[in-house]
Amino acid sequence: MNAALGTAGVALGLAASLLGVVTLAVGLRSRRPKLLRVGRSYAWLVLGGAVLATVAMERALITRDFSLQYVADNGSTATPALYNVATLWAALEGSIILWALILAGFTVGVVVKFRTRLTDPLVGWASLVMLVVCAFFFMLLVGPANPFTTVAGAIPTDGPGPNPLLQNHPLMAIHPPMLYLGYVGFTVPFAFAVAALVTGRLGEGWLAATRRWTLLAWGFLTIGIGLGSWWSYEVLGWGGFWAWDPVENASFLPWLTGTAYLHSVMVQERRGMLRVWNLSLLLSTFSLTILGTFLTRSGVLDSVHSFTESPIGMWLLVAFAATVVVTVGLIGWRGDRLRSPGSIDSPVSREGAFLLNNLLFAAFAFVVLLGTVFPLVVEAVNDERISVGTPYFNRMTAPIGLALLFLMAVAPALPWRKASGELLWDRLRWPTWAGVATLVGAVAIGARGISPLVAFALGGFAAAAAVRQLALAVGAARRQGASPLRAFVGRSNGGMIVHLGVVVVAVAFTAASSYTTSATYTLAEGDSATVAGHTVTYEGMNPEDVSPQRTLVSARVRVDGGQVYEPALNQFPNATQTIGTPSVRVGATEDVYLTLVAAPEREGGPVVLGVIIEPLASWLWVGGGIMGFGTLLAAWPTSRRRREDDPVPSAEGGRLPAADVARMEDGEAGRDDVPVPSGVG
């Protein structure tokens, strides 16, 4: 029943997306508006198919229908409800259903949002591209990653349940969907970029059309990555939040190129430049999501996250290759129309800063990509096995990160076109002093080491610059009568809030990775240990908590004579290893992170307790939240709407919206940002 329902959904999705592609293609080729309108409605059918497949799988999971191979492999009668629902994305096939569902949702979103421009070839091509991507994922569901295969032979009465690590923390229920919303969300700007290339309408129209979609995708990706990092902190038990694991890198790569794009796109909007570069960034962002999925799902790389090997790898690689060939080909074909009409007057200007920003983000992405795939490359070249791990990534990315922090402080203060030293100093004076004060303060409270100190100083500098910018803009908006909340809405204000979030994350990251103290103690009942000024007292074990799902032993540990924390060890019935559940005393200045390394051998015996003191760790999640909030503000519809539904200015005359944006930004933020004239003479 569930298998039939799900298979029907998948078939419907595949058929509808293929038919939609054909209809749109014919409609675009023969310029028949009617066909374009019809083609659009296939998006709804695709969504219908995806919903059907999702419902079928969830129903199978909830009713414990072990006749489905997927449920038999990943479900279990003992899994609690929340994790049972989340089992949809606990393994490869199910996660492709989720991917398809979100993709179909975005496709319908595009169709609905641009319903007034049904016959616009740009929108037509964009929907076509989205449907092609839909078709690909439904093809995966029909072929190599079919989640609805039934069990051959006798139907089991129970299954092993999802990977124990995935049923250990509620964050697992929201981290993957958020991440997928981000990954898949970048398909929308990608589709419009391809559409712009195909139709040759390479002005700034498609940028304006997809601005908000891109922001949304970026926001989801940011939150998804943040939640993933939080999850690993709460669950993995080594006190880490970022391990440069291939899967983490795979999600970080599109984030880096996406962030670069969000910045460089402003140069194009404002000055009509960097067209090829912006297209390349969007196209690589999309390609990187496919590549990342390949790297982590095909088994070529070791990873904590990798699912079992499956034939899906080849399909994803082919998709990646096809994307690359098509996009590079399109850019080559349209190269003549892509020559940027502008020029940059001075490196010391907003656009100069954006260029440098992009250089740094590109370098960052290159380092991460290189480090991730390099073991494979070396092995292919001379059969040598090497690892590229945390020390490499930290050493290579730290300077880039510091340079970005510096740029983040200076760039918002730079006017477009050209800045005089005087103006710059005027704007940066008090942020500079804020940075200096942060540095002196950090040294005074005992922080040591050049690079963390530089990071703190730059953090203070950048934060103050963002606050200054925000205060000016909000003040100006208030004077114009905006409500206190309204005054914060808008791209530049949202952007500054995101910057603040980034500073919080950067400072927390630096502190938590530079000043962590960890120790392992063997403690008898009643014994205490002191680490970095904190006293932990082992007060005994709790009675064993046995449930069909797992056996849990936990220790009672009093921290600083206050509350009792209970780090635990779980034994899942089908896992060979015990899995720890750390217990964390979250604090504003530092977290006390407790792990149960080994339970007592005998009743009343000593335990082995791991204690990690991590300064500022909790601010990582706060910073992530601020970034998400800022993105929301930036994407929130403003009263000064840009005319997104306007017909796109024809062909190359793409300077028009740029003027719009420019007017808006000048109104919002730097009222004093009048460019120093350049062409006068």
- In the region spanning residues 340 to 369, those forming contacts with other proteins, defined by CB under 8 A, are 341-347, 352, 355-356, 359, 362-363, 366-367
564-593: which residues touch other proteins (CB under 8 A)? 576, 580
Which of 109, 118, 238, 558 is close enough to bind other proteins by CB under 8 A?
238
388 vs 622 by CB, closer to other proteins: 388
CB of 238 to other proteins, least distance (A): 4
Please spell the DSSP secondary structure of 76-145, one letter per residue.
-TTS-HHHHHHGGGSSHHHHHHHHHHHHHHHHHHHHHHTGGGTT-HHHHHHHHHHHHHHHHHHHHHHTTT
Q: Does 547 bind other proteins (CB under 8 A)?
A: no
Q: Does 321 bind other proteins (CB under 8 A)?
A: yes
311 vs 647 by CB, closer to other proteins: 311
254 vs 352 by CB, closer to other proteins: 352
CB of 309 to other proteins, least distance (A): 5
Instruction: List b or e across 418-455, with b for residues whose CB sees 16 or more CB atoms inside 10 angstroms.
Output: bbeeebeeebbeebbebbeebbeebeeeebeeeebbbb
Helix (H, G, I), strand (E, B) or coil at 13: helix
Taking the C-alpha atoms of residue 659 and residue 418, their distance in angstroms, rounded to an integer, is 18
Which helix (H) or strand (E) covers residue 285, if one does? helix 275-297
CA angle centred on 393, ends 389 and 398, rounded to 5°: 155
Which of 55, 453, 531, 632 is close enough to bind other proteins by CB under 8 A?
453
CB of 669 to other proteins, least distance (A): 14
Which of 67, 119, 146, 390 is close enough to bind other proteins by CB under 8 A?
390
Residue 132 is encoded by which pair of tokens?
A: 């092609």
Taking the C-alpha atoms of residue 174 and residue 226, their distance in angstroms, rounded to an integer, is 11
47 vs 266 by CB, closer to other proteins: 266
134-193: which residues touch other proteins (CB under 8 A)? none
CB of 320 to other proteins, least distance (A): 7
570: β partners: 552, 579
Q: Does 643 bind other proteins (CB under 8 A)?
A: no
Which of 261, 320, 521, 621 is close enough to bind other proteins by CB under 8 A?
320
558: β partners: 537, 564
Which of 34, 115, 643, 663 is close enough to bind other proteins by CB under 8 A?
663
Residue 502 is encoded by which pair of tokens?
A: 């980034």
DSSP classification of residue 152: S
507-546: which residues touch other proteins (CB under 8 A)? 518
242-281: which residues touch other proteins (CB under 8 A)? 243-246, 270, 272
CB of 550 to other proteins, least distance (A): 15
31-90: which residues touch other proteins (CB under 8 A)? none
Is 256 in contact with 364 (CB distance < 8 Å)?
yes
Q: Does 677 bind other proteins (CB under 8 A)?
A: yes
Is 608 in contact with 598 (CB distance < 8 Å)?
yes
Which of 4, 314, 564, 651 is close enough to bind other proteins by CB under 8 A?
314
CB of 53 to other proteins, least distance (A): 28
Taking the C-alpha atoms of residue 500 and residue 498, their distance in angstroms, rounded to an integer, is 5
Helix (H, G, I), strand (E, B) or coil at 449: coil
Taking the C-alpha atoms of residue 504 and residue 443, their distance in angstroms, rounded to an integer, is 18
Q: Does 675 bind other proteins (CB under 8 A)?
A: yes
Taking the C-alpha atoms of residue 459 and residue 451, their distance in angstroms, rounded to an integer, is 12
- Binding residues for other proteins, rule CB under 8 A, total 112
Residue 228 is encoded by which pair of tokens?
A: 């993933």
Q: Does 442 bind other proteins (CB under 8 A)?
A: yes
Distances (CA, A) of 77 to 66, 147, 431: 10, 19, 58
CB of 84 to other proteins, least distance (A): 25
Which residue type does 276 have? V
371 vs 494 by CB, closer to other proteins: 371
Is 151 in contact with 67 (CB distance < 8 Å)?
yes
Q: Does 301 bind other proteins (CB under 8 A)?
A: yes
Q: Does 667 bind other proteins (CB under 8 A)?
A: yes
- Label residue 600 exposed, middle or buried (CB < 10 Å: 0-12, 13-18, 19+): middle
CB of 432 to other proteins, least distance (A): 5
238 vs 636 by CB, closer to other proteins: 238
CB of 377 to other proteins, least distance (A): 6
Instruction: List b or e across 560-580, with b for residues whose CB sees 16 or more CB atoms inside 10 angstroms.
Output: eeeeebbbbbbbbeeeeebbb
CB of 389 to other proteins, least distance (A): 3
124 vs 582 by CB, closer to other proteins: 582
Residue count (the chain): 681
86-125: which residues touch other proteins (CB under 8 A)? none
Binding mask 471-510 for other proteins (x = CB under 8 A): ----------------------------------------
Is 159 in contact with 74 (CB distance < 8 Å)?
yes
Q: Does 676 bind other proteins (CB under 8 A)?
A: yes
Which of 1, 26, 82, 376 is close enough to bind other proteins by CB under 8 A?
376
519: β partners: 611
590-609: which residues touch other proteins (CB under 8 A)? 595, 597, 601
14 vs 669 by CB, closer to other proteins: 669
Kindly report the number of other CB atoms within 10 A of residue 306's CB atom.
Answer: 18
CB of 232 to other proteins, least distance (A): 10
Which of 422, 533, 562, 641 is close enough to bind other proteins by CB under 8 A?
422
Q: Does 645 bind other proteins (CB under 8 A)?
A: no
What residues contact 673, with CB distance under 8 A and at least 6 apart?
415, 416, 665, 666
Q: Does 386 bind other proteins (CB under 8 A)?
A: yes
Q: Does 11 bind other proteins (CB under 8 A)?
A: no
Helix (H, G, I), strand (E, B) or coil at 528: strand
402-421: which residues touch other proteins (CB under 8 A)? 416, 418, 420
Distances (CA, A) of 621 to 251, 264, 277: 17, 27, 32
CB of 673 to other proteins, least distance (A): 9
- For residue 194, give the nearest of 120, 283, 134 by alpha carbon: 283
Q: Does 396 bind other proteins (CB under 8 A)?
A: yes
